[in-house]
A = this chain, B = another copy of it.
Amino acid sequence: MTNQDSQPQNEESTAGDVATAAILAIGDELLSGRTKDKNIGYIAEYLTNMGIDLCEARMVSDDEDVIVAALNELRAKYTYVFTTGGIGPTHDDITADAVAKAFGVEIEHNPEAVALLTKRIEEGGRFKMNEARMRMARIPVGADLVENRISAAPGFHIGNVFVFAGVPAIMQVMLDAAAPLLKGGVVMMSETVESRVTEGDFAPLLGDVQGRYDDVLIGSYPWFRNGEYGTNIILRSRNKAALGEATGEVRGLLKELTKTLKMNRKK
């Protein structure tokens, strides 16, 4: 979209009314294609519903230097950063260390996390506490835990960075647990106008409408399947009145256009 003002992307923007965010998805398995990421889309939708603008997402490998550099860039730029992946007990789980390094703090066996893990393990009776499991209690000094209602091993947050698991079900309960800490904004509302015309038929008309509504973002999403085609127009705004007006205009122009195209076909 051309309307950049509505989606602030730079440092000054974080001081504004709208909270911004970035996701850092961590894991070699994502970049090899073995695991298809399901977290970015989920978090994106969740944040949109809270009125937080997700401005960027990155997927990086299990490489400490790369993670530290990305973390430091993103946390300076956006209100919140959410990481997924890399907080399990194995040698390739290096997210907590990378976060500690990015913030320049030590990492320790967090007593609260140790207690949570020990309790869960003893209750279950199936597993034994050991060095590897203790690794999941290693948390940067100064961080607060994020509850994991599924498997106890917690996420954490430090500064504006939230560190979640990579397994989608666990990431989702962590996001629920963290949500009350996030400052949402006026929620972005949206309207969808479905049509059976192609973008090529209405692009300039749609551009005109966009030009007249500064605070409405208008996106155009063509689809085709089984020989059928069409375009859905999605309008998004925090201004209900403007959203309604712009949506009315788009509906009107598409109705008119569909009629014209039908007439042309009959000729």
Cβ B7 vs Cβ A28 within 8 A: yes
* Contact mask for chain A residues 15-51; partner B; CB cutoff 8 A; 1 contact, 0 none: 0000000000000111111111100111111111000
Which segment, of A101-109, A178-186, A200-208, faces chain B?
A: A200-208
Contacting residues, chain B, for A116 (C-beta < 8 A): none
Main secondary structure of the interface of A (DSSP, over half): mixed
Q: Is A210 an interface residue (CB 8 A)?
A: yes
Q: For the complex formed, measure the closest distance between the CB of A205 and the CB atoms of chain B, giving whole angstroms.
A: 9
Q: Is A136 an interface residue (CB 8 A)?
A: yes
Cβ A41 vs Cβ B33 within 8 A: yes
Contacting residues, chain B, for A61 (C-beta < 8 A): 1, 7, 9, 55-56
Q: Is A2 an interface residue (CB 8 A)?
A: yes
Contact flag A88-B207 (CB < 8 Å), given A7-B63, A9-B61 = no
Cβ B91 vs Cβ A2 within 8 A: yes
Most chain B beta-carbon neighbours within 10 Å: one of A62, A90, A221:
A90
Cβ B28 vs Cβ A45 within 8 A: no
Q: For the complex formed, measure the closest distance between the CB of A167 and the CB atoms of chain B, giving whole angstroms.
A: 7
